[in-house]
Amino acid sequence: MSTVSIIAATFHGNRGAEAMLSTTIGVLADRCGPQTRFEVFSYYPEADRQLVSDDRVRIFSSTPAYLVLVLVPGALLHRLLGALRLHWLQGLLPASVRALARSRALLCLAGVSFIDGRAKFLPFNIATIWPAMILNVPVVKMSQAMGPFRSWPNRPLAHWFLGHCHRLHTRGAATQRHVAALLGSRGTYGRSDDVAFLFEVRYCLSTPAPGLDGGLAALQALRNRGRPIIGVCPSAVIARRAAAEGHDYPRWMAGLIAELVGLGHGVALFPNATRGRDEPRLHNNDLPLLRGILACLDPAVAASVVGFEDGWNAAQIHRILGACDVHAVSRFHAMVGALVVGVPVLVMGWSHKYLEVMERFGQADMVFDGADLDGPRTVALIQRLLAERADRHGRIVAALPEVKALASLQFDAVQDLLAP
């Protein structure tokens, strides 16, 4: 029986991370057999345990405090006791440390890491992979955006920690260039598209939220009245950036929706990060933002808007994505999900990670900085998406096999590590 550890993704919260995590478990179970066991290190351990009851999966904490106070010192102590041949004392260490130590690999599913301008996240980027390195467990960074690496302390820290990974998988051409400039021929790295491009509904392990069918029926009723359906997925990350520049993002988004409805469209307003109806915090949670947008809508506009306000899992969000004619999104994996189901998508993003994926589908002209809050430009691009929907759908579908094949490559290296 092979055991693999996975970190930097959760079932609860960001549903893009859930798609990556569920897909990683599903693909490896298909490739390596049902006897494979998965140790998932989650920063929402209690919530994840409530969502998932699969016997193959154990969930441990990877909160910042747990990483610093338990996993890092525990890994150091485990290695020291091993060097002293005090193996019986290793058995007294926390179960999380022992689970990581006996794993064939640690897979890091961070969406982004070691990026200039995100210095406050560097300690977490390091702490997620350092314990495995201490324990001599190979670290594989699954497909993600990394770099640029021009600033201090990001550059020296990235050079050391990324250079000591077993393998890095770069999510796009920009990340590949950044990593190549940092590591040259020293590192083991290569291109591989996002894990979530391999997502299948059967991989989903979390409990679905009730009530989705009613929302989908409401969308179909709008379509039956001749209204094309525009999927709109906002982001608390973009909302924070806009607020820092003095903009009211919920009111702006409500104005955008009102204009779309005025043009004869129906709107599906949905989240891709949810932490429950009663959670007010915005980190990995767009539900408060959705409620704020809906509260700004006039009743006449709201009649043509379906708000999906619940903790939908990744499979349910894929159903919402497939029920729309085109999308305008600000969440990365809402973009990925739209591409997977072949629905043309406009991306209002915040980093190179969006563009380098959309380029793979010939859709680079549908990406711009979401914090610009450019209403006329957004409406014009959505209208263009609708007009070009058939052509863009064809290009997306034609590109998918190659993208999925490249996404599959990253599992080859993992499969080799898990081989008996």
Whether 169 and 220 map to the same domain: the answer is no
Q: How far apart are CA 369 and CA 238, in angstroms?
A: 9
How do residues 382-407 score in pLDDT, each as one tens digit? 999 999 999 999 999 999 999 999 99
Whether 9 and 118 map to the same domain: the answer is yes
What pLDDT, on a 0 to 100 scale, did the predictor assign at position 119?
86
Question: CATH number for the domain including 98?
Answer: 3.40.50.11720
Sign of the C-alpha dihedral computed for residues 60, 61, 62 and 66 taken in this order = negative
How do residues 188-224 score in pLDDT, each as one tens digit? 999 999 999 999 999 999 999 999 999 999 999 999 9
How do residues 323-360 score in pLDDT, each as one tens digit? 999 999 999 999 999 999 999 999 987 767 888 889 99
Domain membership of residue 276 as a residue range: 208-343+345-387
- Which two structure tokens, joined as six digits, stand for 144? 């993600």
Whether 131 and 226 map to the same domain: the answer is no
Rg over CA atoms, the chain = 22
Whether 153 and 218 map to the same domain: the answer is no
Residues 6+ apart with CB under 8 A from 394: none
Q: How far apart are CA 205 and CA 10, in angstroms?
A: 11
Whether 194 and 240 map to the same domain: the answer is no
This prediction's pTM: 0.93
- Which two structure tokens, joined as six digits, stand for 189? 């790295």
Question: CATH number for the domain including 219?
Answer: 3.40.50.2000
**Counted domains in the chain:** 2
CA distances (Å), 228 to each of 166, 302, 392, in order? 48, 15, 16
